[in-house]
Amino acid sequence: MKYLITGGAGFIGGHLAESLIKDGHSVTVIDNLSTGSEKNLSAVADSPNFDFVKGDILNLPELEYLISKSDMVFHLAAAVGVELVVHNPVFTIETNVHGTERVLSGAKRKKTKVLIASTSEVYGKSQKELFSEDDDLLIGPPKHSRWSYASSKLLDEFLGIAYYRSMNMPVIIVRLFNTVGPRQTGQYGMVLPRFVSNALTDKNIEVYGDGAQTRCFCHVADTVRALKYLSANAKAFGEVFNIGGKDEISINALAEKVKDILRSSSKIVHIPYEEAYEKGFEDMRRRVPDTGKINALTGWRTELNLDKTIADVAESLGKQ
């Protein structure tokens, strides 16, 4: 099989490229390296089954050609990270919406299969105990740029499903919940690598807000398995799937766990949201996925726990 990964030099894309090539497939990666890094592709850079194209999907002339030569596109290119989203909302919206539009338009001639990576952010301020794919969604007001990312990715979902229904395009939507693991950077606000990096150097572990907000973390290796399972299953076309961990943990407890596992002397300090991001910043208090749908279709479930994930992130950061 020939795969194209947009945003493939990113954290998830690099792991996905490695896994696909290990399985014997051919992989082409497109990335403008604005947030990704060629270091994420170092393990496959010399493989005869790997090609790298440096370019932006918003204006890359050969995008449709590259899509036409592929059996499937994993569309991972997006503006990511809360800090980037809050401070550059125009870039966020244009990258996410126009990028997805170009990928789907380029895929329609040959009806190339497309998997679009969306986000748990689309659930917005939902108060449900578990987030499931058919839930109503509650997004915050446009005056808070925090929600520009969620809205742009939700529009990506609507566009993908519209292509499926109107043109019989084989499109799959996945909503990723806090994927973490080796090679992830804390540069754009990703919480776990930021905590681990500070703990390794005994710097203050900064918890934004009161720390009572909860998340579920999924090791990137588990996420990659889920992406591969769905991409190989025709019954996934036209559907939306949650991909995420099963164990809910508060950010305060996460900070304590990181300290304990790494035997760090770091202090845990709390930073107000308005100091960390912007005035009026709104956060999701809980973000827990219902993964019953993907489990029922493919049998997928997480295999790597949070302790293992923290250890893997620490090992990766220690090598940098």
Catalytic residues: 149
Cα 4 to Cα 16: distance, rounded to the nearest angstrom:
11
Cα 261 to Cα 53: distance, rounded to the nearest angstrom:
39
Instruction: Provide CB contacts within 8 A for 61, sequence distance 6+.
Output: none
The structure tokens listed for 100 are: 């997805």
3-state secondary structure of 185: coil
Cα 112 to Cα 91: distance, rounded to the nearest angstrom:
27
Q: For residue 88, how far is the Cα from the chain centroid? A: 18
Residue among 188, 154, 172, 181 at smallest CA distance from 75: 172
Long-range CB contacts for residues 81-85, cutoff 8 Å, separation at least 24? 81/35, 81/187, 81/188, 81/189, 81/190, 82/146, 82/149, 82/188, 82/189, 82/277, 83/188, 83/189, 83/277, 84/35, 84/188, 84/189, 85/145, 85/146, 85/148, 85/149
